[in-house]
Amino acid sequence: MSEKLVQAKGTLYGVSLGPGDPGLITRRGWALLERRDAVWTYPVRSLRKDSYALDIALRAGLQPPAQHQSLLFPMTHDAEKLARHWLKAAETVRALLDGGQDVLFLVEGDASTYASFGYLARVLRELEPEARIEIVAGVNSFNAACAQLQMPLSEQDDTIAIVPAAYGIAAVERMLEDFDTLVLMKVKPLLDDLIDLLERRGLLAHSRFIEKAGSPVERIVHEVASLRGTKVNYLSLLLVRNPGRVRGELQRGCRKKEESQAATEPDEAPQPDESET
């Protein structure tokens, strides 16, 4: 008696496309997107909106395969509504994978950084613990923004915080004590308050605004105060350098520990700095 052939299940790929410039799609991502035997899926915020991720791929000259579809990831803080849509998206992808098809989920920016792909992958694993998932790394919006601005994200032993601005003004101000660079994501709801904070802390001259980095409608604003009272896109961020932060003395490329902390830790043999190896 011949054994029945078991159809292999497909793989879900989170394909990072970068923040807007098609030239920032990686070779790995491009190779996957050129396949004609995989299904494209891409997020939309509402059924009346186009997919920004899909737009990046189309502007790259890539053509969707015969089978492609949007998945709804609504903009809401309603936990039940979000869970319902994440589950529906995961069930849609699971059915395709069970049919032996590979699924590409298109993601603007990087699939591991504040991306809807994380929710999709998590719920899919809850439904199918053995699901095969691969993430294709990509360029983050803040890396692309720094490149456009010719502004270093970090130097030497600088500290960096990447923060959704929705954490609030008080939280952002506390971080100014500990970080040399702040990347403030999704600044639209609090932009005026953030401008007031940066003005009070004397940091407006060290701040830059960028919207839809790398896209045809990219907007860069050096005079951040000029944005007060204006509307900005959801895909926008502030880069804040904090040159006046009080920092400890350097010792072989690392900050000296506080005496109380050093006293409680065992002695270790000195290690070479990476720049010395």
pLDDT tens digits for range 59-88: 999 999 999 999 999 988 889 999 999 999
Q: Whose CA is closest to 89, among 77, 101, 110, 105?
A: 105
Summarize the confidence of residues 120-142 as an average pLDDT: 97
Per-residue pLDDT at 128 exceeds 60: yes
Summarize the confidence of residues 149-164 as an average pLDDT: 92
CB 124 within 8 A of CB 9: no
Q: What is the pLDDT of residues 197-254, one digit of tens each?
A: 999 999 999 999 999 999 999 999 999 999 999 999 999 999 999 998 887 666 555 5
Token pair for residue 6?
């078991």
**pLDDT at residue number 251:** 58
For residue 197, the SS3 value is helix
Q: What is the pTM of this model?
A: 0.84
In angstroms, the CA 246 to CA 16 distance is 37
**pLDDT at residue number 215:** 93
Q: What is the pLDDT of residues 162-204, one digit of tens each?
A: 999 888 999 999 999 999 999 999 999 999 999 999 999 999 9
CB 28 within 8 A of CB 57: no
**pLDDT at residue number 276:** 34
Per-residue pLDDT at 113 exceeds 50: yes
Is residue 260 packed enough to be buried (19+ CB in 10 Å), middle (13-18) or exposed (0-12)? Answer: exposed
Q: What is the pLDDT of residues 15-47, one digit of tens each?
A: 999 999 999 999 999 999 999 999 999 999 988
